[in-house]
Amino acid sequence: MTEKTERRPIEEQVSTFENWIGKLTETGIVEEINPQLVREVFEDLGANFEISEEDRKSLERFENLLRRPGMDAVWGKDRVREYRIWLRHYLKDYETRTGKPLPVLEGTTSKTSGGLKFFTDLTVFASGLMSFEKYQEITERRAAKGRLWQARKADEPIIPSKYSSFPPEFPQVAWGKIKSWRR
């Protein structure tokens, strides 16, 4: 006899995920979470992880631009575009509210890389293509860097950064955007 594992109701999964995001936002620490739970929460928001091998391979790439085909396949082009537009507006608002310009990625003029990486890395993790340990390492590095950046004096010079970051409040704010897609 095969024992069937019951899925928790989606509301419970969303609540678990929201608590996890809240702790990440508050502390910058990524506590362990099951990628299947993240996947099911994202599927409830319209994500489709049944994608082609080519799209899966693009998700395994590191650069946001090279991940784009996979992200478009999982979320749909319109939602990925919507997130990118929302992100630009959020960052402009953040700079206005804090009076501190955000760092640019070394060799570019991009300030959106860390916010986009938050979305793409979480999607890659949910797809099962990134280990928890790797996800934890890169996300905690981005969060720590964002906290250091936020704590700096407004008159300190802006030095382009090799690694992207996101502001401490960002995971919660980004989750608010992503969950607005709930069907």
Task: Return the ∠ at Cα 157 (arms to 154 and 163), rounded to 5°.
Answer: 100
**pTM above threshold 0.75:** yes
pLDDT mean over 133-160: 85
pLDDT for the residue 6: 52
Identity (one letter) of the amino acid at 128? G
Domain boundaries, the chain: 10-151+162-179
Q: What angle in degrees, to the nearest 10, is found between the helix axes of 35-44 and 10-27?
A: 110
Secondary structure class of 114 (helix, strand, coil): helix
Examine the pLDDT at 160 and tell me if it is beyond 70. no
- At residue 99 the predicted structure's pLDDT band, cuts being 50, 70 and 90, is confident
